[in-house]
Structure 1
Amino acid sequence: MPISRRALAAAAITALALPLSACGSGGDDAGSTDASGKVEGNITFQTWNLRANFKDYFEGVIGDFEKKYPGTHVKWVDQPAEGYPDKISADAAGGTLPDVVNVAPDLVAPLAKAGLAMDLDKAAAKYKGEYLPGAWASHQVPGLPGTYAFPWYLNTGPLFYNKTLFKQAGLDAEKPPKTYDELFTDALQLAEKTDGKVATLANVPTIEDFGRYGSTLTNKEGTGFAFNDAKGVELLTKYKQLYDAKALDPQALTATPESTGKKFLTGAVAMNPGSALDLDNFKKQAPNLYKNIGITDQITSTGHVNMYVQGLMVNAKTRNTPAAVAFAHFVTDAEHQMSFAKKVAIFPSTAGSLNDPYFTKEDGTDETRVRVAAAKSLKTAVNYTPVQFSDQMKTALRNEVAKALQGKQSPKDALDNAVKACDQLLKQQG
């Protein structure tokens, strides 16, 4: 799929109850978590809209694998971005799921519940230490023991801020806020100093914000949501204070990434998430802003930023467990992740890779400024979005948050209602 921060978040899989009896490409009698046998046989590898730009890369990786393991053959299938979750669901229900599948955490969750995703804590435990702890944990499903995909490439986004606006408000432009408490204090000061003409933020809080603030997002079993806890209510209460003081942009309730980016570009908003592409845009369209851009980490009160992650799942029904596990590991090992990261703006999930000079040394370009900042934060990043949290749930949360900010209901009532709505949607997932 197109590799961008938004794409890496991945659209939630359509709520489709997969039959627990659904078999994979190997049939009901196939499937074993024992990967210790000889690596041989035919397997199918499916990616998500990667052939157009990376055909040579993947053909090279497959060729190297087949050379390393004579007697293996990997058939590569690349699916278009449009309808990918539905394609996976249909293959799972029809018993035609490939042996190794490119997934995001929300895509793997229903497959794991249906018994179609192999538990790598059993099949590939020896490889666990090769990956960043947060990345390995990203494909775990609450309520189920195990890990259901090898972590592959990661992404995250730094936060840009306008140093000029900070200075004008009497804030230290070289010490941007790091925690939510610092953010709220600075935002209120900035709004006061500008008589409400400049907001610090242009987005309402999302599920990731509640996670970064320290709210407990789900119960331990994963059977219900819990972001209406004391921390969650506290966060939304503070956002309400920002909204009332015009420290949160009045149009945040209907904001899009494009609209918030434009407000940052014109100096109406002091902070906004972004990427190296945005820096280039600033340089061309707003040179004065570009000269005064600050780059900092995402705001977090937990000490861990949010990561977006892709993975490679092994079909639990594969006939060739040793080959499928070996190939999924081969594609996601440190060497191959590093070579892939140098072809596109993503980050490896393997331990130690982010210490490579490619991710630690700046050369004065916009690209490396952002890459170094993002890589540093990814070492301890967490995928906060619960694997069960669908697009419908995101909408339900956003709607209730909007009511709270507008004063139509209390923050507590808003989050209680959001949790209730999300729990109902969760039950429909099966």
Structure 2
Amino acid sequence: MPVSRRALAAAFAVCVVLPLSACGSGGGDGAATDASGKVEGDITFQTWNLRANFKDYFEGLIADFEKKYPGTDVKWIDQPAEGYADKISADAAGGTLPDVVNVSPDLVAPLAKAGLALDLDKAASRYEKEYLPGAWASHRIPGMTGTYAFPWYLNTGPLFYNKTLFKEAGLDAEQPPKTYDEVFDAALRMAEKTDGEVATLANVPTIEDFGRYGVQLMNKEGDAFTFNDAKGVELFTKYKELYDAKALDPQALTATPESSGKKFLTGAVAMNPGSALDLGNFKKQAPNLYKNIGITDQITSTGHVNMYVMGVMVNAQTKRTPAAVAFAHYVTDAAHQMSFAQQVAIFPSTAGSLDDPYFTKEDGTDETRVRVAAAKSLKNAVNYTPVLFSEQMKTELRNEVAKALQGKESPKEALDNAVEACNRLLQQQG
């Protein structure tokens, strides 16, 4: 049920995970927030590991921008994927961030705190209405005012379920569970009917699960995590109940997207997140599963599924603010997002784009089945991963979850310890 950002990116198989790296024309004294001047001059736009697959797309986009704005010159530099995090940190410290940078919300947070990300609420608020509200809000930083990147593309994943297993357990295969309470009930029934041979879920809860359950993940000030509240403990206690009943796969503690996918393929797990590529795999390797596959939304008790969002940030210290803002908007406007979405399995963050027939009408192919299902859920989706929740924090949570599922700690003790560790790391971020 939980889908990590990396797993989601891998599932959509685009050779793209796409936060970005840097090397450009930073400098300048203080933030230049006035983007109303003439669009002209040289700017640098840097991507991460995109040239191999999308060279023609980006070269065409840049050429069109330079034609629209004579006197501009966009230098596109593409960095290899390896060492990206270190690269962006070094560029931030050395004053060599590019003018326009693709970032994910968690990557923009430290840059915004350091005064290196332009506040678009001040410099480009006129564009806000062009984007889905949830997407625009995704690059806001707790404890700060402002929005620090244009939303670019979105991703989410539907949930697959095995209709045959549902029917054999006496569950309605045409009405799959939608909320956590429903999936917990179904999972316990499945485990009971199969004497623990079939688990419904294959993954331990992640921070996104707590968000979709309705847990308040952080306080309003944005300076402390709070997912160990009563509702958080309630959710995790239910996961422990599932684990003990084998309704949660016994190997969930060490599960990867690949191992979970194999469990689903072999009928050992009844529900699993995935992509259109998985459907093709089912068709070839497990035709009986393919014929009885169900596609539904992610489980959520809030009415909003989780989305993963990438953005395009403007360097607050650029000497070419009008050109940098204009280019960042150009990359992410409705026309160019739609064009990019037709080349790669992503979804536009622009208002109205998901109503296009490309995202609403099926043509009988597996790719379209999944695309339509995912796009439908994105219109009011939320990025539940706190922008300040680092990879280190994810590890802390996962370690404590493992201890509690194994009976070494109570669910409450585990979440208390996880929150304490995450808050300690948060304070270290400054």
1:6 to 5, 9, 14: 9
Secondary structure class of the residue paired with 1:272: strand
Listed as ranges, the matches of 1:8-407 within 5 Å are 25-29=25-29, 31-407=31-407
For each residue in 1:86-143, what CA deviation from the matched residue of structure 2 results, as whole angstroms up to 9, or x when unmatched? 1111111101110000111111010000000000011110000100111111111101
Counterpart CA distance in 2 for 1:366 and 1:292 is 13
Amino acid at match of 1:156: T
Counterpart residue identity of residue 113, structure 1: K
Q: What amino acid does structure 2 have at the position aligned with 1:95?
A: G
Percent identity between the two aligned chains: 84
Deviations 1:174-210 (A, max 9, x none): 0000000110111111111111110000100000000
Other structure's SS at 2:251 match: helix
Contact 1:34/1:322 (<8 A) preserved = yes
Change (3 A) 1:57 1:312: same
Cα deviations by residue, 1:39-82 (Å, 9 ceiling, x for unpaired): 11111011121111111111111111111111111111111111
Task: Please tell me whether the aligned partners of residues 6 and 17 of structure 2 are also in contact (alpha carbons under 8 angstroms).
Answer: no
Q: Distance in 1 between matches of 2:6 and 2:332?
A: 16
The 2-side partners of 1:425 and 1:93 are apart by 20
1:19 aligned residue: none
Partner SS for 1:250: coil
Q: TM-score, normalised by structure 2?
A: 0.95
> 1:402 Cα deviation (Å)?
1.3
Q: CA separation in 1, counterparts of 2:348 and 2:286?
A: 32
Conserved in 2, the CA contact under 8 Å of 1:151 and 1:309?
A: yes
Letter in structure 2 aligned against 1:100? V
Say if 1:10 and 1:104, in contact at 8 Å, map to a contact too: no
CA distance in 2, matches of 1:41, 1:139: 27
8 Å Cα contact 2:264/2:271 also seen in 1 = yes
Q: Which amino acid in 1 is paired with 2:88?
A: I
Alpha carbons 2:26, 2:315 under 8 Å: kept: no
Structure 1 CA distance for aligned equivalents of residues 83 and 304 of structure 2: 32
Structure 1 residue 346: Cα displacement: 0.6
Letter of the 1:34 counterpart: D
Cα contact 1:11–1:391 (8 A) shared by 2: no
The question of whether the paired residues in 1 share the 8 Å contact of 2:159 and 2:296 is answered with yes
> Is the 1:156–1:374 contact (alpha carbons within 8 Å) kept by the matching residues of 2?
yes
What amino acid is aligned across from residue 116 of structure 1 in structure 2? Answer: L
State the Cα deviation string for residues 197-253 of structure 1 (Å, max 9, x = none).
100001000000000000111112221111001111110011011111111111111
Asked if the contact 1:212/1:305 (under 8 Å) is kept, the reply is: yes
Deviation at 1:276, TM superposition (A): 0.7
**Do the aligned residues in 2 keep the contact of 1:3 with 1:345 (CA within 8 Å)?**
no
CA distance in 1, matches of 2:419, 2:17: 22
The Cα shift of 1:6 comes to: 3.2
How large is the Cα RMSD of the aligned pairs? 1.9
Classify the secondary structure of the residue corresponding to 2:219.
coil
Per-residue deviation, 1:11: 9.8
CA displacement at 1:25 relative to structure 2: 3.5
Q: How far 1:83 moved relative to its partner?
A: 1.3
- Equivalent position SS for 2:350: coil
Q: Is contact 1:12-1:391 (8 Å) kept?
A: no
Cα distance in 1, alignment partners of residues 346 and 29 from structure 2: 38
How far has the Cα of 1:28 moved from its partner? Answer: 3.8
Structure 2: how far apart are the matches of 1:29 and 1:291?
62
For 1:353 and 1:42, the matched residues in 2 are separated by 31
Q: Check whether the contact 2:27–2:95 (CA below 8 A) recurs between aligned residues.
A: yes
Runs of at least 5 residues in structure 2 that lack an aligned partner in the other structure: none
Letter in 1 for 2:145: P
Unmatched 5+ residue regions in structure 1?
Answer: 14-23
TM-score normalised by L of structure 1: 0.95
CA distance in 1, matches of 2:9, 2:346: 12
Shift of 1:31: 3.5
